[in-house]
Structure 1
Amino acid sequence: MTFKTVLNIVGHEQRDGDVKLAMELCESANAHLSVMIIGIAAPPPVGDYASVISDAWLAEREADVEQLGDCVEAFEGLLQQRGLSADITSDYVETASADEAVGLRARYCDLAVIGPDLLATHHLKYRVANGVLFHAQRPLLLMPRGAAVSLSPKRIVIGWNSTLEAARAVREALDLIDKADDVRIVLVDPKTSDRANGPEPGADVAAYLARHGAKVTVERVASGGEMAGAVLMQHARDASADMLVLGAYGHSRLRQRMFGGVTSMMIDAPEIPTFLAR
């Protein structure tokens, strides 16, 4: 997959840090940047006091819409200054509709990116991630604060567990993997089986990638009782990886919310650029 259109989603209350980071990413990759600004509408008042506070609620919504417009204008000026191939859209939606709104827009990109400012939000980042991964089924790149982000990573760690989600992530990241100098396929506590990992866990995906010209090695590591996500992130740090590639939401979103999981851990606290797909 060659990434020709990159979508960056930001909140209407954010500053321009995430957009600037996405601009640098697209300039280095000669890609078109689409910016989507999301405004989350306050829920309508209900109950006995609805009539009393309805005016305040309307005023809040009007202020949000005005702020959203100001944000669009500011970002348009920023994009024009850089002379980058780009477009910008905005949407003002209820919280429950944010996933779908993002998903509809993300269907027209090759890759969506979330920057550090959006990652610092509590709820919007999950709405955006769900919209991209479920409603659009596009890959998502998490760009943590302070990390050097590139679409030409030299060293990649792939978290592999033979699931459909992991296979999809590898396929979506294939263009990055092929060009990397060092690709490490990491399996945490792998078990041999005829249906999943086979007699030599990781060998099948390594052979597949090697046929594409990737420089791959397979590393099987023990968790020592730690969560798989923490083990993978530590392994990626130890390897000085430029990017971690993972399948997203191998379990249901409900189970992820209730018990946690690798995907939730990465969205909450990515330490290096993390490429997710499902």
Structure 2
Amino acid sequence: MTSATFLALQGPEGTTADLAPIIDAAQAQRGRLSVMHIGPVPLLSYSITASPYAIPVIPEGWLGERNKMAAHLVKQQKETRAHLVKQGLTGEVATLCVEPAAMHDLVGLRALFADFSIVQDSLRDNDTAFNNIVYGLLFEAPGPVLLNVVPGSKALTPNTVMIAWNSSVPAARAVRAALPMLKAAYEVIVASFDADPSRWADGENPGADLATWLSHHGCKVTVQEYVTGRKTVSQAILDRAQEHTADLVVMGAYGRSRWNERFFGGTTEEMIKQTERPVLLTH
């Protein structure tokens, strides 16, 4: 993978040190790094004056909080720009200071031309903002989303990658998005959980066709089938990733309705919430 464009999305408490693994990957690949400093502000509740000349009245406290956050993000923006110049990297550094509900479309638009979007852990402090950012990237942008890319992580230059394979279109898209990483990895594990080969008809063994395709691209592939037993699929994925010391898990997101998963739980929601293992997701 060369000349890739990375987009790092960072929260108000993020630092330039948090960008270290992304900077290393961008430098190694002669790529670009763009950073978006995001500051969620409280939900705006306003009053309306009497008709017929009704106008919204913004509370003074809300405006003060918003301006304070905006000033903080501008300070971060200047520090990040100077840091990227020092590292010899090109790319934009932007700020976004809005209510969490407005982030979905805005981050998706920013990520249209990013090869990889990395949502940093500093955004987890606000659950609503974090979830809306991840959803926006998955549903409004074409590239993959990476989570839990922290200093010391090999998520962007993995030696061992585990693909959580279920023969779905989102999973296939995730594999294609991660292909440059898979080709450079020492080991790629195609892992199927509670697979039903008669349903998907993807070879004599689940994952066999994917392994053949990856091998043709020069990947070093092994195929494994696992039974979850009493565990959830997400916990089984994490346990096997730990067993193989995988630097990255690659998987599709929201094979079923995201609202279904939001209200009733599901593998994608649980893998987004977990922080123990880097994961690459696409929808």
Check whether TM > 0.5. yes
Does the alignment pair 1:92 with 2:112? Answer: no
In 2, Cα distance between equivalents of 1:237 and 1:182: 14
Aligned partner letter, 2:192: L
In 1, Cα distance between equivalents of 2:76 and 2:234: 36
Q: Structure 2: give runs of 5+ residues left out of the alignment.
A: 50-54
* Corresponding pairs, count: 278
Write out per-residue CA displacement over residues 243-278 of structure 1, whole angstroms, 9 at most, x where no aligned residue.
111111112221121122222222211322211112
Does the alignment pair 1:79 with 2:84? Answer: yes
Write out per-residue CA displacement over residues 207-232 of structure 1, whole angstroms, 9 at most, x where no aligned residue.
11111121111100110121111111
Q: What is the aligned partner in structure 1 of residue 16 from structure 2? A: 16
Indicate the percent of aligned positions where both proteins have the same amino acid: 33
Match of 2:178 among 173, 179, 185: 173
In 2, Cα distance between equivalents of 1:151 and 1:268: 20
In 2, are the aligned partners of 1:40 and 1:92 still within 8 Å (CA)? yes
The more displaced of 193-202 and 260-269 is 193-202
1:155, distance to aligned residue in structure 2 (A):
1.2
Report SS of the residue matched to 1:91: strand
1:134, distance to aligned residue in structure 2 (A):
0.6
In 1, Cα distance between equivalents of 2:127 and 2:25: 25
The more displaced of 266-275 and 8-17 is 8-17
Does the alignment pair 1:25 with 2:25? Answer: yes
Q: Sort the Cα spacing of 1:275 and 1:258 in 2 relative to 1 into closer, same or farther, 3 A.
A: same
Match of 2:110 among 105, 109, 112: 105
Q: Structure 1: give runs of 5+ residues left out of the alignment.
A: none
Match of 2:262 among 231, 235, 257: 257
Aligned partner letter, 1:32: R
Report SS of the residue matched to 1:156: strand
Write out per-residue CA displacement over residues 149-190 of structure 1, whole angstroms, 9 at most, x where no aligned residue.
243322111100000111111111111112222111000011
Aligned partner letter, 1:96: A
1:52, distance to aligned residue in structure 2 (A):
9.0
RMSD: 2.4
In 2, Cα distance between equivalents of 1:85 and 1:190: 44
In 2, Cα distance between equivalents of 1:52 and 1:97: 20
In 2, are the aligned partners of 1:170 and 1:245 still within 8 Å (CA)? yes
User: TM-score normalised to the size of structure 1?
Assistant: 0.90
Match of 1:57 among 62, 67, 70: 62
In 1, Cα distance between equivalents of 2:70 and 2:41: 9
In 2, are the aligned partners of 1:119 and 1:144 still within 8 Å (CA)? no
The more displaced of 169-178 and 62-71 is 62-71
In 2, Cα distance between equivalents of 1:48 and 1:175: 54
In 1, Cα distance between equivalents of 2:81 and 2:255: 38
In 2, are the aligned partners of 1:25 and 1:149 still within 8 Å (CA)? no
In 2, Cα distance between equivalents of 1:143 and 1:27: 20
Report SS of the residue matched to 1:241: coil
Q: What is the aligned partner in structure 2 of residue 44 from structure 1? A: 44
In 2, Cα distance between equivalents of 1:52 and 1:192: 60
In 2, Cα distance between equivalents of 1:192 and 1:51: 59
Q: What is the aligned partner in structure 1 of residue 52 from structure 2? A: none
